[in-house]
Amino acid sequence: MLPKLIVIAGTNASGKSDLGVKLAKHYGGEIVSADSRQVFRRLDLGSGKISPEEMDGVPHHLLDICDPGDFFSMADFQRLAYEAIDDIIARGKPAFLVGGTGLYVDSVADGYILSNKMPDLAYRAKLEEMSTEALYRMLMQQRPDCDVERRNRNRVMRLLEKLHDGDDVIPTKKPRYEVLRLGVTWPREILCQRIDERMTRRFAEGMLEEVQSLLDDGVSPTFLLKLGLEYRIITQYLTGVIDTREELETLLGTSIKQFAKRQMTWFRRNEEIHWLDMQADPFGEACQLIEAFL
């Protein structure tokens, strides 16, 4: 029988981190973060990283484990997540995988068999010179059946690199855990309002200054641009590509909402996710599902 894992996945600004803390605290569990940007130290406000106060004493794993600019792959994440989850379970506690990076969540929950090959940096440099549209066309020529958002530059590049390395873009799976998947989101108009409110709050807390500090300390603008969303758009503003603060905020709000829509497209494909009613009693609903699962 496989050990059990509880997944709480959802969109930006949905409240998944807060719900994860309440549930983990209630069941005496620990949380493994599944976020591709929160693994980096000093990427706090821009990544929406949970604060020590918000953790409310619940242990969190895979936050702040590498420096900005370090190479960190999905295979690195999966390996460290397996180690953390296995350790939590070995200590007799429930493990909660909480996050919004769909690929990271699925790599662990579905048990992707991943290659540990080092990237071909020369090939990556060649891809970097191409437009996103050209990269997408190149991918479709090689794998027309590949399901990927055409504007997701990083994902398209990673798939091309996998094909270049001789890997299949559709990973084989060997599940390591029995998984309960809980989904967190809101009706679109409410989610958009939550995104706007959170963005205003994070600017007030110093999100702009966070990115300026990273640039001042020598973190590569290229690295920050690749991170997307807040880091990409704020870096463009601070380096003069975007002219005004008003343009920055409008562009960022629109980009986060578009990203949340893509997150939902990714998660909605999985029929095993139980979508919680966030306007009713999501904690009580989740507890019923967890108790039946455990």
Mean per-residue pLDDT for 83-93? Answer: 98
Instruction: Write out pLDDT tens, residues 230-257.
Output: 999 999 999 999 999 999 999 999 999 9
Rounded CA-CA distance 198/19 in Å is 16
Whether 62 has a pLDDT exceeding 90, the answer reads yes
Query: Which ranges of the chain does DSSP label H, i.e. alpha helix?
Result: 16-27, 52-55, 74-90, 102-109, 121-128, 132-142, 153-164, 188-205, 207-216, 221-227, 229-238, 245-268, 282-293
Confidence of residue 116 (pLDDT cuts 50, 70, 90): low
DSSP states along 105-154: HHHHHTTB----PPP-HHHHHHHHTS-HHHHHHHHHHH-TT----TT-HH
- Interval 22-44: pLDDT, tens: 999 999 999 999 999 999 999 99
Residue that the structure tokens 């409008």 belong to: 250
Give the mean pLDDT of the chain. 93
DSSP-based three-state secondary structure for 16? helix
CA-closest candidate to residue 272, choices 257, 258, 293: 293
pLDDT tens, position by position, 173-231: 999 999 999 999 999 999 999 999 999 999 999 999 999 999 999 999 999 998 999 99
